[in-house]
Amino acid sequence: MIQVKNLIKLFGTKVAVDDVSFSVEKGEVLGFLGPNGAGKSTTMRMVTGYFRPTSGSVNLCGIDMLEEPELAKQRLGYLPENAPLYSDMTVASFLGFCAELRGLHGAQRTQAIDRVLDLCFLDSVRNQSVDTLSKGYRHRTCFAQSIIHDPDVLILDEPTDGLDPNQKHEVRSMIKRMGKDKAIIFSTHILEEVEAACSRAIIIDRGKVVADGTPESLKKLVPGANSLDEVFRSITKSDTAVKKAA
């Protein structure tokens, strides 16, 4: 459902993403891992059509994102990092607005709102103003907008960032459930999330893919490693290590 081939993104002379290729099939939840500045968000912005790649291709559900971006985006749900909200709207009116942007009207719109309010445990705050919500509820509202049209593909950038442990558990559980019939990519720097929600993971470092496999197979990349944290630290470079080498 998601085919990414030879993606390269340059910002001036800086190579942010360097020849990245991967695919994600229906029923797969792919964790996208890497240190800060590794190219995770830039890659995801190219997959969603927000950034145009310097070269390479992105295909969603058989549709070329560069050639037919509007059609490809109809099959896509996107939760960006620090997703914006309209603070003067209620939760239900904001989701209704998002549903209309996705072409849902009348009974379809109402059904979509009720569905995501239930899925994201938002029904108790449906008529509450967004600016009065806790951070957890605001985050769930952002998540709800990404699935309002029941997309085939979900791209989630740091979906649990800033949430407390209970809220993180709820979001991971939602991702795992939805991953049964969608293709999902979510970026994270929290390695425990990979084992909790992902069927597969990619580790990216300095713009390049340095590992790709199931959580269990990744642990075997480094002899004696007992956790993904050990693998991650072994195959990626910290900013301090790069500065020392320079």
Q: Which domains does the chain have, with CATH numbers?
A: 1-75+151-214 (3.40.50.300), 82-144 (no CATH)
pLDDT digits over 68-105, tens only?
Answer: 999 999 999 999 877 788 989 999 999 999 999 999 99
What are the angstrom distances between the C-alpha of 205 and each of 12, 153, 202, 237?
19, 24, 10, 7
Per-residue exposure over 47-76, b if at least 16 CB sit within 10 Å of its own CB, e if not:
bbbebebeebbbbbbebebeeebeebbbbb
Strand-pair partners of 14: 11
Which pLDDT belongs to residue 242?
A: 47
pLDDT digits over 97-149, tens only?
Answer: 999 999 999 999 999 999 999 988 899 999 999 999 988 888 889 999 999 99
Residue 220 binned pLDDT confidence (cut-offs 50, 70, 90):
confident
Please state, rounded to an integer, the average pLDDT across all residues of the chain: 90
Burial class (CB in 10 A: 0-12, 13-18, 19+), 31: buried
Which residue is associated with the tokens 């995801």?
44
pTM over 0.85: yes
Residue of 55, 57, 20 whose CA lies nearest to 187: 20
Residue 238 binned pLDDT confidence (cut-offs 50, 70, 90):
low
